[in-house]
Every structure is written in structure tokens, then in C-alpha cells.
Chains A and B, each alone.
Chain A
Amino acid sequence: MAEGHVVGIDLGTTNSLVAYMEGDRPVVIPGVDGSNLVPSVVALDPITAKGGRPTVTVGNSARKALIETPERVIYSVKRLMGRDLEEVRTELKFFPFRLAGDIEAGEVPRIQLGELRFTPPEISAYVLRQLKRNAERFFGSPVTQAVITVPAYFNDAQRQATKDAGRMAGLDVLRLVNEPTAAALAYGLDRAKEGTIAVYDFGGGTFDISILKLRDGIFEVQSTNGDTHLGGDDIDNLLLTIALDEIYAEHGVDLRAHPGAVQGLRKAAIDAKIRLSTEQAANFDIELPNGDRYQREIPRAVFELLIEPVLKRTAVPCKQAMADAGVTPEQIDEVVLVGGSTRIPAVRALVDDLFHLGARGKKPHTELNPDEVVALGAAVQAGILAGASKTTDDMLLLDVTPLSLGIEQLGGTVARIIQRNSTIPASATEHFTTGVDGQTNVAIHVLQGERELAADCRSLARFDLKGIPPMAAGLPRIEVRFLIDADGILHVTAREQRSGKAAEIEVKPTYGLTDEQVENMILDSFDHAEEDFSRRLLIEARNEADTILAAVGRAPQNPAWNELSAEEQAAIAAARDRLVLIMQGSDLNAISQAMVALDKATRRFAELMMDAAVSSAIRGKTMNEAGKEVNDAVSAPHDFAPAEFK
């Protein structure tokens, strides 16, 4: 079997990335627009393809649709992965998406997107497929194996949902790696360090803290803790709520009734948050539907006061992780910062305080781009698994399970069988018996969590041990083996020992998809067909070029067009003509480069148009005239990365 590249994927709440090992160093693979980050946003194209399902777009172009057709766009879906109906309902209070109407308890919730409905793993699968395609375009060969990162504090259901998403996208997920651990791998690569390090990972939607011991290339996680419900999103929602309330109180306008306007305001809130990391104040200046202006200056001091409760929530997991690892702040040699939210100065101050850094003359590590470090680490782990690189040959990651595993016992209490922070793979064997004479079934309820009562823990699965030979009560001895694998996912096997008969075991996950459901949701089964791969790439590239050209064709009708100088307009025309010419040929790289060139030429135009789109959406006007597709350049918090094509 020909074995291609194993890629490392950071499937993030806000942005996703794909990376691989180029020789002995990890490198992020850019998309066709040259950007390393693919926004984790999925949109249904408003134009329904004749007869078939509407086209799905992912990334920057999908993000643009947020303002024009918010009911056809979904983002931050990671917050919904592996969650049950009730949890999703709570979560959706802060988001504009709707649940499909007729979901029954116990079913995996589906999100209504336009006229279609999707489970969270399906949405994630679209993001993964985009990353897979980016990598395939980059290598010019199929990519079928990947390492995907998950928050360390993800539970079994959330991990399983992520693995399902990989399978739907046509990826064999060789390993799920915890995000903070991946970051440690990326940092540990160039420095043959020994000692204890803490990784503080504050991303868009989740918070993780991990404490690791490094020795001779072995990265041994001592403890991990976190909150899968805490991230930059919470800060955005805070600013958004305040702005919405103030607008209602001062101007009598309820923007909540206009999803497009709320999205515009959300973007303004995110921009303000980002500016406040470098500036002392940021402004909201927005025109309202009634012609009023909402003007508000937010000084950094006010912002810091506002977000303090959110930031403080990261302190408790940090202290617990240190206690579990049996270390004091002084015993932590290095602290690594990961995730976009660690750019906030108040977060850095908190970290300094938690780990007594300044007092010891130390600084946290921020050398690697916090948006990219997890993907780079995933690539390192991919290298370890592929066994192809000398650099990663000596490296080994020993991770832990973040949550204790237990079984419900008499009285609704939980008997713990695998403690949190146990190195994985880990196993436990328990013995069960029957309560009445001739009983042939035994039900076992498996839970995950640290609380004493089953009702307070997360229900993982209910197992039915069937086919127990009829015996007097208490006589059968059923041995059940629980095994948490290297991905942090639980497996169960059972055996009746007295009769030596293997008890039939029926595993019914409390939440989550069955194997059959996952099979039915696999995207593009043609991905596996024996078709000419480079031909497919060429067709895709031409389709993409067509889309871009159509958008550029509409550009002169947009008011923003007139704001461009004559030189800028001429540059766009030249780049357009070149692409039209080159796409007639079959040189894939040349077409890609021509698309990147056109994208660069239209960048300023896209920015002007986005600004116009945001303010007009808030005014409640429609954006019929706004271009549909020009690749935008909104608020990516890092510099434009030059495209690299081989």
C-alpha cells in the first residue's frame, strides 16, 4: 500500500489549520488564498444547484456570507460537538443558529441551515474536507491519514464526534492529540529541554491547562484540566450583550431582531477586542436603522474590569492541575501560551501571577504564533506516527485522561474505576453479579466526571450484559474490562467467568452517532473512487477560478469599486485577464498562482466592500449589490502569509 503524507490538523472553534513535517520541521499548509488560517465557518451557497444539494463553502468566503445570509451560515460548531439536546439549546442562546424542529431526546441534535439540516460532526467534516483539499493541492497527491487535535478537557462523546467528523471527511484519523500537548511538542522540538512545563491554552471556545514533564524526548503529561465552555467567544458575547443593551436603552432599537445586524455588531466587538490588546482604547461607531449613531469608547481599563470574571475562571483549573501534578508554581520551569486569547495583556498578567513568573525573572513562551502552534504540534505527532523523520524518532508523547471514569452503583453514587490524569492507554477490570435468581441481563451505566453523584456526571453509555447463564443470585461472576485507548476513547468488553461464556454486550452510547449513521454521512464517496486525481484537482481549480472571476465581474457595480484608484482598477483587470488566459491550459500550479495574484490585487477592494457591508447591515439595508465572492480579508489577526506552491 502506498503511504502518503500524514497531516496534522488543528480543528479549532474559530480557525482551523493543516500542517505537515517538511523534513525535520513542521510547516503550515496555506489555502488557495495564501492564508494559513481557514475560518471554521460553513455556509450553504444561496444559489441551489439544479436538482442537487446546494453547494457548501468553507472558510473566508463562508464568513462573508454571515452578514448577507446569516440563516445559511454556521460557525463555532466545535462548541456543539458531542453535546446533547439540552446542552445545545443552552449553547445556542448566544448564537444565531436554529435547531431542526423535530428532534427527539437522545438523538444527535441537528442544526437547521437554510433548507437542510446537519449534525455538528457533519459541519466539522466540511471544514476537515477543505483542509484535506488544501493539503492535496499542496502535495499534488491524495491525503487520507491525519492527526486531529482536540481540547485536552474534551470528554469521550466530544472525542468520538471529532473522530466521526474525520471519517465523514474521508480521513483515517490515526490519532486524536490534546491541543496543549501538541503545543508542547511544537515547542519541545528545537529545544532539547528537560523539566516541567505548563501549557496555558486559551482559545476561541475552550480553555485547557496541561502540566508536562520533559525528559529524553519523552513528553509525559502529569495532569490536565480545563473548561470546554470558556474562550474568546465568551469575551465577544460580553461586549456584544453590552452593546445590544445600550443600543436598546439609549436609542430604543432592538437589534436582536435582525440577525444580520447582530453579526455586524459581533464583528465590531471582535475588532474592538483585538485593538484593545495593543491600544489603550477602542471605539464603537455604528449607524442604527433609525439614523441614530451608537458611539462608545471602551478604555482598556474598563475592558479589563469587564472581562475579569471570564479570565478568573481559568485560574481554578490551573490550581487544580498543579495540585494534581503535585507541583508548586515555583517548580514549573516554563510556561507556554497558546490560543488567540492569550494575546490579551490582562491574560498575560494573570498567567504571570498564577505561575509567579515575573517574581522569578521568567517570561511565558510566545515565540511560536499562538494561532499556529497547535497545528505545528499536530504535524510533529503525525511525524512520530509515520515514523518517517529522524527528528521525531526519539520523541514520545504520554498523555492522560482528563476525567475520571466511573460506574453508577446502588443509591445513585459513582464508583470510580479509572482516576483522572491516568496515563493512557489505561484499563480497569471490574466484577459484577446478579441480584435475583435466574437473572440473565445486567445493566451497567458508565459515567465520566469528578462528582459523587451519577446525576452530576456525564453519562457516557449504558451497557447491557446479556446472555448470562441462569444461576442463583450473586453466583455469576461477570468480568468487565474498560479500556481507554490512546485517543482517550473508551472500549468495553465483558465475560462471564463461572461459565466461561463471553457475555454478549450491547453498547448504546448515551449520545453520539452509530457506525451506520456515520457511514451514511460520509461526504463525497467519490473521493475514494479510482479517478484520475490530478484531473480532479484541475477541475476543482477551474471551478474555483470561475467563481472568483464571476465575483470580480460583478465588482464594478459595487459602490466600493469607485473608491479604488485607476491604477488599482487596472491591476485587477490585468490579473483577471491573466487568470482567464491561464485557466484554459492544464498547468495546475500556474492556475493557482494566477488565482493568488488576482486575490492579492482585489484585497483592498474586498476590505472596502466588507466595511460597507458591515455598516449597511447594521443600518438594516440589504446588500444585493455587494459582490458575492471576492475573497475577503477580514480581521485575520495575523499578517498575510505569502502563498507557497511547489
Chain B
Amino acid sequence: MLKVLENTVPVACWSCSVAHNESTLFCPDCSKIQPPSSGDFFSVFGLEHRLNIDLAALEQEFHRLSRRLHPDRFARASENEKDWSLADTALLNDAYRTLKDPLRRTEYLLKLEGAEMGVSAAAPSDAALVQNQEKIQNQQKTSRVPADLLGEVFDLNMQLEEMRMARKMGQEDPELKESLRQAKEKFVGLVGAVDRELRAQWTIWDGGDAAARQPAQQAMMALLDRRKYLSNLVRDVTEILGD
């Protein structure tokens, strides 16, 4: 059964009236599906806020809950139960998709912990269009070049431009290609280094108290920014090399 982490107000089961905790997916007494609660992605799996996760156990729990919650199990149930099953399964799927991916998981947890993921966007001036604040912040964030890589990124962009021009003229410069390959290798290595640092910060965060967590959060935010930037570069180079 689902573990309940927080002490929540008991509510009565809609079907059998037995009281249970609000965040329970099924009534412990009659097993009927309950109206969706407002838990976060970790609580869906009965997990505490932790960055190191046992992925095999997560998958197993995902499959176990899917078997019980999926709309296929409620095809002939009442309209209410159908709606709850749909909402619960969407939450379960969203939670699994987020938690199984190390980067999404880190981002999500940082957001839960109230990390400021960027500065507020200016109010939109065009009345006809809608601003989507979060997206704009993300775009601003990923265009920031890491300070220690300014020189190398500049060189790489020059080479990419050169390669594009050569391609347009139908020419291949093997030397340029080789140099880009080496650059790619280097940046792939840097991504790997970021991932290792990120994991180290996970452990600090998971094991630390509030005082230790604060600097770990700051470090992780910077690492995520850096990683986004690096993987965009790697993607561009891969695209041009065609491999």
C-alpha cells in the first residue's frame, strides 16, 4: 500500500464511509479508488524528497500502481471513478516520467524546495499575446555562456560557422571535421564531469540538514545551467558532423 508521509486530515471513503488519510489513492477498507489528492510526485511513490533513487524499485512500483489505477481498469465503472482514475494515472505517469530522469528529477526537487530558477520576466507589452513566464526564463537561462568556457565556445562557434559555409559550397574540410570531432569529445567529457558533480551534490543534499542543503541547491542550479548549455553545444556539433 501507499505509504502516507504527512499526517493529513482523515476523510470518509465515498463508498464505504470508513475514514482514511486524505492522500490515500484507495480506501484501505473497501479498496475503492478515492478522489485525487494534492500530493507531490515523490509522495505518489511513497518516497521522501531524495535525489538518489532506486530506479528498479521505482519501475516496479510504477507498474504495480498502473495495474490498479489505469483507466482500462475502470472502463465500466461510474463516471466519478473514471474521472479519478484518469486524474490519478496522469499524475502517476507525470511523476514517473519526472523522477526516472536524473535531470528532470533534480530540477523538480529544486523547484519543490522553492529554489528561484530565474528572474521574473518583464510584463508583456503586447496585449494580444500571452506571456508564458517560465518558458521565457528558461530561454534566458540557457543562453548564458559559462565564464570559464568563453574562449573555447567562441572558437567552436567559429568552426561551426566555417563548417556550415563549407557545406553550402559542397566542400568537405577533413581537418576542420577532425577538429570539430575533438571539440565534441571534449564537450561530451565536460557533460560527464557535470553529471558526476551533480551526483556528488545529490548525496550532500540527501544526507544534509537545512544548512548543508542550501549551498548544495545553489551548486545544483549552477550545474543544471551549465549542463544545458553544454548539451546544446554537443547537439549542434553532432548535427553538423552528421553522426
Contact = CB atoms under 8 A, between A and B. Distances in A.
The answer on A and B forming one complex is yes
Interface of A: 3, 174-175, 215-216, 218, 381, 384-387, 396-398, 407, 409-410, 415, 422-428, 430-436, 439, 442-444, 473-474, 483-486
B76 A386 contact: yes
A321 B125 CA distance: 41
B218 interface: no
Contacts of A443: 128, 130
5 contacts: A386-B76, A396-B67, A396-B72, A484-B90, A485-B86
A89 B66 CA distance: 43
Contacts of A424: 93
Given A215-B63, A427-B90, A473-B123, A435 B97 contact: no
Contact of A435 (B63, B76, B94, B127): B127
B72 A435 contact: no
B29 interface: no
Contacts of B124: 410, 433, 435, 473-474
Given A396-B70, A435-B129, 19 more contacts: A216-B63, A218-B67, A396-B72, A398-B66, A398-B70, A424-B93, A426-B90, A427-B90, A431-B133, A432-B130, A433-B133, A435-B128, A443-B128, A473-B124, A474-B124, A484-B90, A485-B71, A486-B71, A486-B72
Given A396-B67, A430-B132, A384 B72 contact: yes
B134 to A, nearest CB: 7
A439 B96 CA distance: 38
B86 A425 contact: yes
Interface of B: 63, 66-67, 70-73, 75-76, 86-87, 89-91, 93-94, 96-97, 123-136
B37 to A, nearest CB: 15
A409 B127 contact: no
A216 B123 CA distance: 52
Contacts of A385: 72, 75-76
Nearest to A410: B129
The residue among B75, B123, B134 with the most chain A CB atoms within 10 A of its own CB is B75
A486 B86 contact: yes
A484 B93 CA distance: 11
Best-buried of B63, B71, B132, B134 by chain A (most CB within 10 Å):
B132
A345 B73 CA distance: 41
Nearest to B77: A387
A442 B130 contact: yes
Contacts of A384: 72
Contacts of B125: 435
A175 B66 contact: no
Given A409-B130, A410-B129, A474-B124, A423 B72 contact: no
A436 B179 CA distance: 51
Chain B binding surface, main DSSP class: helix
Nearest to A218: B63
Closest CB pairs A-B (n = 8): A385-B75, A474-B123, A425-B90, A435-B124, A436-B127, A427-B90, A415-B135, A435-B127
Given A218-B66, A423-B97, A435 B131 contact: yes
Nearest to B63: A218
B22 to A, nearest CB: 20
Nearest to A486: B71
B104 to A, nearest CB: 10
A216 B62 CA distance: 13
A410 B126 contact: yes
Which among B93, B125, B130, B134 has the greatest number of chain A C-beta atoms within 10 A?
B130
A409 B86 contact: no
B6 to A, nearest CB: 21
Contacts of B63: 215-216, 218
B131 A433 contact: yes
A423 B93 contact: yes
A409 B135 contact: yes
Contact of A433 (B67, B72, B94, B130): B130
B116 to A, nearest CB: 16
Contacts of B73: 387
Contacts of A428: 94
Contacts of B130: 409, 432-433, 435, 442-444
A47 to B, nearest CB: 42
Contacts of A439: 127
A383 to B, nearest CB: 11
B24 to A, nearest CB: 20
A436 B123 CA distance: 9
Contacts of A218: 63, 66-67
Contacts of A433: 123-124, 130-131, 133
Contacts of B91: 427
Contact of B132 (A3, A175, A407): A407
Contacts of B97: 422-423, 426
A397 B128 contact: no
Interface centre among A386, A423, A424, A439 (most CB of B within 10 A): A423
Given A218-B63, A433-B130, A425 B75 contact: no
A425 B89 contact: yes
B84 to A, nearest CB: 12
A27 to B, nearest CB: 21
A476 to B, nearest CB: 11
A300 to B, nearest CB: 33
Contacts of A407: 132
Contacts of A409: 129-132, 135-136
A409 B96 CA distance: 28
Contact of A483 (B66, B90, B126): B90
Contacts of A484: 90
A283 to B, nearest CB: 44
A426 B93 contact: yes
Contacts of A174: 75
A3 B131 contact: no
Nearest to A381: B72
A423 B93 CA distance: 6
Nearest to A445: B130
A68 to B, nearest CB: 44
B103 to A, nearest CB: 13
A576 B93 CA distance: 60
A590 to B, nearest CB: 35
B15 to A, nearest CB: 18
A427 B94 contact: yes
B48 to A, nearest CB: 23
A424 B94 CA distance: 9
Contacts of B136: 409
Most chain-B CB neighbours within 10 Å: which of A384, A424, A435? Answer: A435
A258 B238 CA distance: 53
Contacts of B134: 430-431
Given A396-B70, A473-B123, A3 B76 contact: yes
A442 B43 CA distance: 34
A455 B107 CA distance: 31
Contacts of A474: 123-124, 131
Contacts of A387: 73, 75-76
